[in-house]
Amino acid sequence: MASKYQAPRGTFDVLPGDARARRRIEATASAIFERAGYEPIATPAFEDTELFERGVGRSTDIVRKEMFTFEDKGGRSITLRPEGTAPICRAYVEHGMHKLAQPVKLSYAGPFFRHERPQAGRYRQFHQLGVEAIGTDSPLADAEAIVLLSDLLTELGVPGVELRIANLGSPGSRRAYLEELKAHLRAHETKLSKDVRERIEINPLRAFDADDEGTRGVMANAPTIVERLEGEDAEHFAEVRTLLEAAGIDFEIDPTLVRGIDYYTRTIFSFVCDELGAQSEVGGGGRYDGLIEQLGGPPTPAVGWAAGIERILLALGEAEEETGRDAFIAVADPGRQREALVLAIELRHAGLTAEVDLAGRGLKGQLKHADRLGARRVLILEPEGSAQLRDMQSGEQRQIDPVDLVEAIGGERS
């Protein structure tokens, strides 16, 4: 039956096959985060709009075009969170986390919202998981964070992944470079796209990200910040690269790398996957040493990343297989339905997967359903108190006392 209602444009329902795969991704990530001491945190799905205007940056596409912003009933401007770092920094400041032992290492997963043009790998509600290490400027933290994402993608088996890294310098050292870049853009202004031209003064770095031919031609000869790095910025970048090499992580320095968010300083990185087509990034992030202070906290350096769960799923390319059931309890005698449910509950309490018929099927229908569910054993409760345990693969069947069921099924499973 076709419904009159559909999931809104750019959103989707997560159906069970997909949900299983997502659960595996989240469980794998949680285990990796836990082993490295990144504690879970969750923030609300919406925040005051100003948090993102200040945090993400007024000149970014996210803030200019992509936020789901509305007024609540009290006249306050609210925005569905387009990203997770600004909210976590808000929470860090709000809860005085700078008083804890530093750095504070956090991890998260959840839905995010951007009003983008929907296409494969780009949605209006999508899911990210990520980490933040707040309160350290050590290159060790950059390397640790990058290795976490590399480990996650490796452990999940995401194919064809490449890591690109760059360094944006710090705001002071970047100033001279940005002037040089603006001069280059102005000198070739007529060849640039309208969007890039309008942002020469406010966000010249974004020109590296443009996909129109004119701008790309101009950017091919543009000066890059990586070539201009010096002093502590250059040392930091060199140390991150040395650490990645020591950890056995392959990477490429990409001087044209930029990110769509203003808060980044020094390290930025991006994991791309060639299986993904146009939306090729699975995850990325970088250092944001000025953000916490900008949000009213003490000067606090930090680094983090986010990965897109849908992009990982697309790259993996398949839904997770059903795992079947350890047992199905069927009844040949409808008078034994209660007993069947109680036995299934007992099996579940013993950590096994078990189901009973909830639809009033006859025995034949129940066996067919058990087969459909992938049940490995079926217990058939017969009239007069007897019971048969059937192995669905071999078809072998034997009499059993239901009291021994947990042992029989648990034992046979291992």
Binding site residues, ligand AMP, CB under 6 A: 83, 114, 116, 121-123, 126, 128, 259-260, 281-284, 306-308, 310-311
For residue 258, the number of C-alpha atoms closer than 13 Å in the C-beta half-sphere is: 17
Considering the complex, state which of residue 141 and residue 356 has its C-beta at the smaller distance from ligand AMP.
141
CB of 50 to ligand AMP, least distance (A): 19
Considering the complex, state which of residue 312 and residue 392 has its C-beta at the smaller distance from ligand AMP.
312
CB of 276 to ligand AMP, least distance (A): 9
The Cα–Cα gap between 167 and 270 comes to 12
Cα dist from 356 to 83, 407, 412, 413, whole Å: 43, 19, 20, 19
CB of 193 to ligand AMP, least distance (A): 20
Considering the complex, state which of residue 268 and residue 387 has its C-beta at the smaller distance from ligand AMP.
268
The position carrying tokens 């799905």 is 45
The DSSP output letter for 9 is T
Considering the complex, state which of residue 55 and residue 402 has its C-beta at the smaller distance from ligand AMP.
55
Q: Is the peptide bond before 103 cis (omega within 30 degrees of 0)?
A: yes
Considering the complex, state which of residue 241 and residue 259 has its C-beta at the smaller distance from ligand AMP.
259
Considering the complex, state which of residue 273 and residue 344 has its C-beta at the smaller distance from ligand AMP.
273
At residue 302, the 3 state secondary structure works out as strand
The Cα–Cα gap between 232 and 28 comes to 36
CB of 229 to ligand AMP, least distance (A): 22
Considering the complex, state which of residue 125 and residue 193 has its C-beta at the smaller distance from ligand AMP.
125
CB of 85 to ligand AMP, least distance (A): 8
Count H helices and E strands in the chain, helices first: 15, 16
Closest residue (Cβ) to ligand AMP? 308
Cα dist from 376 to 328, 354, 388, 392, whole Å: 8, 10, 14, 5
CB of 98 to ligand AMP, least distance (A): 24
CB of 62 to ligand AMP, least distance (A): 7
DSSP string, 100-163: SSSPEEEEEEEEEE-----BTTB-SEEEEEEEEEES---HHHHHHHHHHHHHHHHHHT--SEEE
CB of 283 to ligand AMP, least distance (A): 5
The Cα–Cα gap between 169 and 175 comes to 9
Considering the complex, state which of residue 203 and residue 353 has its C-beta at the smaller distance from ligand AMP.
203
Considering the complex, state which of residue 112 and residue 328 has its C-beta at the smaller distance from ligand AMP.
112
CB of 189 to ligand AMP, least distance (A): 28
The Cα–Cα gap between 351 and 353 comes to 7
CB of 378 to ligand AMP, least distance (A): 42
CB 110 within 8 A of CB 128: yes
The residues with which 159 forms a beta bridge, in sequence order, are: none
Determine how many CB atoms are found less than 10 A away from the CB of residue 122: 16
* Residues found in the chain: 414
Considering the complex, state which of residue 81 and residue 241 has its C-beta at the smaller distance from ligand AMP.
81
385: left (phi over 0), alpha (psi -120 to 50) or beta: left
